[in-house]
Amino acid sequence: MYRVVLWGANGMAGGEMLRLIAGHPDLELVAAVSRSKAGSPIWHVHPHLRQEYSQDVFINPEEAFQREADLVFLALPHGSSWQVILPYLEKGVKVVDLSADARLKDPDDYIRWYEKSHGAPEILTESVYGLPELHREEIRNARLVSGVGCNATCSIIGLYPLAFEGLIAEARLDLRVGSSEGGASPTRGSHHPYRDRTLRVYEPFRHRHLAEIIQELKMPEQAFTMTMTAASIVRGVQMLGQIRLTRKLREAELWKVYRRYFAEEPFVSLCPAKPSHLRFPDPRFVVGSNRAMTGFALHEDSERLIVVTAIDNLLKGAAGSALQSANLMLGLDEKQGLEMVPLYPV
């Protein structure tokens, strides 16, 4: 058994990490860290985990540092993770950080996208972006792997086959997102009375996850226009991309490109062209699982393309990808503990 410590365990992504760790045959939770809930039973915050953690309580950071661990998951807000990453790296413990603190390679990007300079830019040279679909071999050998932005993951998975083939001239991305993206603490924008039944557009052009999309697709910022829409769902992200291709393509060529990139991926699949109502993925098709689904349609002018991808933000967009990376770092089967079938209907 590998011993794992989880920080931010009382939060939204932390709760999902706890659920995955409970179902993983090779991981043993040795500490669930929370400053505000230290001493309280885990299941008082995450009631669905009553059975799995009936005797376990949250512990404080000081105590957590005393516990021996093979790997640490950090589900902390960005800007606070790096302070925890450093001591663990010094002790030789592997780290998967779900925040943005290890995602971007260029320290200046933190000033541009997060409006603050990075507290420990030296970690960026060794951290690996934690999307196994793009960095599987580097993740296997890494000590520090970042988590992924959920909106970035949804967009990157839908677009990387096209981007890596040099097929995208311009992409307009509309991300439709669920309320769990906002974390466990309510704000005026995320509190249920204001958030429910919403169709609120926000963050035109400058959503922070665009920094990851540009970095990972190796494309210029000018190629993208990105908007976010808060949708009336709890879990799920859907990316609707309107793409202008760099050259005219036949639909059969696009199927070939997507099939080639997705063929070996255990958690990525393509929607069939028919029946038409299943051509594009609804987040409901993947919620509760680590899966990503993509569908596309080519305009008759052969130059304009609609691509739609859906994921569960708390799984493939957060805890699922984090566990997939941790499995690789520990030399385990990357699917271990992640083969849940989606819930439907939800």
Which residue is closest to ligand NAP by CB? 11
Single-letter code of the amino acid located at 79: G
Nearer to ligand NAP, 10 or 168 (CB): 10
Stretch that binds ligand NAP, among 11-19, 110-118, 212-220, 328-336 (CB under 6 A): 11-19
Q: How far is CA 73 from CA 109, 141, 332, in A?
A: 24, 17, 16
* Per-residue contact flags (x/-) with ligand NAP for residues 179 to 208, judged by CB under 6 A: -xx-xxx-----------------------
Radius of gyration of the chain (CA): 20
Among residue numbers 137 through 176, which ones bind ligand NAP (CB under 6 A)? 147, 150
- Closest approach of ligand NAP to the CB of residue 344, in Å: 20
Residues in Cβ contact with 66 at an 8 Å cutoff, skipping those fewer than 6 apart: none
64 lies in the site for ligand NAP, by CB under 6 A? no
Q: Please identify, using beta-carbon distances, which residue of 60 and 302 lies nearer to ligand NAP.
A: 60
Out of 12, 308, 310, 329, the residue judged to bind ligand NAP by CB under 6 A: 12
CA–CA separation, 177 and 157 (whole Å): 16
Q: Select 191 or 248, whichever has its Cβ closest to ligand NAP.
A: 191
Question: Strand (E) positions, the chain?
Answer: 2-7, 27-33, 71-74, 94-97, 144-146, 168-177, 200-202, 224-230, 237-245, 268-270, 292-298, 304-311
Tokens of 143: 């000590």
- CB 254, min distance to ligand NAP, A: 29
Closest CA to 37 of 16, 17, 14: 14
- The CB-of-19 to ligand NAP minimum distance in angstroms stands at 13
Residues of span 71-130 touching ligand NAP by CB under 6 A: 75-78, 80, 98-100
Go through the chain and tell me how many residues it has: 346
Given a contact cutoff of 8 angstroms between Cβ atoms, the answer to whether 285 and 312 are in contact is no
Distance of closest approach, residue 144 Cβ to ligand NAP, in angstroms: 15
State in Å, rounded, how far the first CA of the chain is from the last one: 34
Q: Which of 71, 173, 214, 314 binds ligand NAP (CB under 6 A)?
A: 314
Q: How far is the CB of 280 from ligand NAP (least distance, A)?
A: 22
- Residue 34 interacts with ligand NAP (CB under 6 A)? yes
Strand partners, 238: 176, 310
Secondary-structure percent of the chain, ordered helix, strand, coil, rounded to 5:
35, 20, 45
HEC letters along 199-212: CEEECCCCCCHHHH
Nearer to ligand NAP, 165 or 186 (CB): 186
Q: In what order do the strands lie in the sheet with 168-177?
A: 200-202, 224-230, 168-177, 237-245, 304-311, 292-298, 268-270
Q: Considering the rule CB under 6 A, would residue 320 count as an interface residue with ligand NAP?
A: no
Binders in 254-313 for ligand NAP, by CB under 6 A: 313
Q: Residue 233 or 254: which CB sits closer to ligand NAP?
A: 233
Q: Which is nearer to ligand NAP, 174 or 303 (CB)?
A: 174
Binding site for ligand NAP (CB under 6 A): 8, 10-14, 34-37, 75-78, 80, 98-100, 147, 150, 180-181, 183-185, 313-314, 317-318
